[in-house]
Amino acid sequence: MDNKLMGAKTSESQFEVHQDVSEYIKFAKESRDTQSRSGDASHYRSFAIIPDVVALEILTNHGLNLHESEFMSNPADVQRIKRIIKQEYPALLTSNVIRG
């Protein structure tokens, strides 16, 4: 791949995908910091920023396809992804989540 932020490597028995997620983590921290300073007066609140490589890992490890068009319409899957992000990828949270 020519993209410097993402790369793939294959062999006969393995497929690996690598992505530099440092900018995603930086953006998420800036979002949390902004919310801490100014509060959250809106009804809409961003939850997390999820890079493609993390979405693939969640699909592989948990069977949740975040790119499926109907994903957000299933409340059980939405709650499950929130738990997974909070537990396994807290640096990707874009808000200071205090509710379930």
CB burial of residue 33 (10 Å; 0-12, 13-18, 19+):
exposed
Between these two residues, 35 and 38, which has the higher pLDDT value? 35
| pLDDT of 7 higher than 80 | no
| pLDDT of 75 higher than 50 | yes
Distances (CA, A) of 26 to 1, 11, 23, 33, 67: 24, 32, 5, 11, 23
Q: Tokens 């690996």 map to which residue?
A: 16
Name the β-bridge partners of 10: 15
Q: Please give the model's pTM, rounded to 2 decimal places.
A: 0.75
Banded pLDDT at 35 (limits 50, 70, 90): confident
Query: What's residue 13's pLDDT?
Result: 74
